[in-house]
Amino acid sequence: MTRIPLIDPASATGTAAEQLEATQKAMGAVPNMARAMVNSPSALQGYLGLSGALGRGVLRAATRERIALAIAESNECAYCLSVHTYTSAHAAKLDEEDILSAREGTATDAKEDAILTFALAVNSSRGDITDADFEAVRSAGVSDAEIVEVIAAVGLNSLTNFFNKAMKTEIDFPVVQPGVAGKADAA
C-alpha cells in the first residue's frame, strides 16, 4: 500500500486537479505515481516539465526508454521497471530482447550500447564519471546534446525511482521485479 494518499483525479481540486489533468494529457492516463506525487503539485509539475522537455529533445523515445529500464533495474525500482517495460513495448515498440538487453545495460547498436554504459556510469558514480567514461561515450559518436540529455534522463529516472521506492507506490502496470529479467510477477 502506498505510504501517502493517492489523489483521485475526479475529486482533486485547485492546482492538484490542474496537474492531474496535465498528466492525463501528457501520458494518456494518470498512473499511481502521479496520484501520489500530486500531494505536492509542484513536484508533479517539475517531473512533467522535465519529462516533457526531454521528450522534445534529441534522444529518441526508444533510447529514453532503454535508459529508464537500465536505471530502474540498477536502482531496483519495481514500479518504474514495470512502467517502462510496458511503455517500452507499447509506445517505443521495443521487442522483448531489446527490453531485456536494456535492463542489463546493453544494446546491439554500438551507439545505444555506449549511451547505456554511460548512463549506468553516471548513475553508479552519482555523476562522478571518469575521463574514460566520457571518452568512451564521445568516441561512440554521441553528441554534446545527447550526453547532456543522457545525464538529465538519469536524473529524471533516479527521481522517479527514489520517489516510488520511498512511497512504496502501488504498481498499476503488469508487475516486473528487478533482478528477474523478463519475468512479470503477480502483485
Alpha-carbon span 176 to 182, nearest angstrom? 8
| Whether residues 81 and 46 fall in one domain | no
| Whether residues 31 and 117 fall in one domain | no
Percent of the chain at pLDDT above 70? Answer: 96
pLDDT at residue 8, as a whole number: 96
Confirm whether 187 is domain-assigned. Answer: no
Question: Phi/psi class of residue 175: alpha, beta or left (left: φ > 0; alpha: ψ in -120 to 50)?
Answer: beta
| Whether residues 37 and 101 fall in one domain | no
Q: What is the CATH number of the domain that holds 143?
A: 1.20.1290.10
In which domain, by residue range, is 51 found? 14-55
| Whether residues 65 and 87 fall in one domain | yes
Give the number of C-alpha atoms closer than 13 A to the C-alpha of residue 62, restricted to the C-beta side.
Answer: 14
| Whether residues 74 and 162 fall in one domain | yes
pLDDT at residue 151, as a whole number: 98
Confirm whether 139 is domain-assigned. Answer: yes
pLDDT at residue 185, as a whole number: 43
| Whether residues 46 and 137 fall in one domain | no
Q: Average pLDDT of the chain?
A: 94
| Bridge partner residues of 176 (DSSP) | 184
| Whether residues 50 and 71 fall in one domain | no
The three-state secondary structure class of 10 is coil
Per-residue confidence band for 164, with pLDDT thresholds at 50, 70 and 90 = very high
| Whether residues 83 and 159 fall in one domain | yes
| Whether residues 83 and 155 fall in one domain | yes
**C-alpha cell of 80?**
518504474
pTM score over 0.85: yes
From 31-40, 69-78, 173-182, the region with the lowest mean pLDDT: 173-182
| Whether residues 39 and 113 fall in one domain | no
| Whether residues 118 and 72 fall in one domain | yes
Per-residue confidence band for 14, with pLDDT thresholds at 50, 70 and 90 = very high
Confirm whether 125 is domain-assigned. Answer: yes
Question: Phi/psi class of residue 158: alpha, beta or left (left: φ > 0; alpha: ψ in -120 to 50)?
Answer: alpha
- Domain count of the chain? 2
Per-residue confidence band for 1, with pLDDT thresholds at 50, 70 and 90 = confident
| Whether residues 104 and 40 fall in one domain | no
Confirm whether 179 is domain-assigned. Answer: no
pLDDT at residue 147, as a whole number: 98
Confirm whether 4 is domain-assigned. Answer: no
Alpha-carbon span 73 to 16, nearest angstrom? 30
Tell whether the model's pLDDT for residue 187 goes beyond 60: no
pLDDT in tens, 105-140: 999 999 999 999 999 999 999 999 999 999 999 999
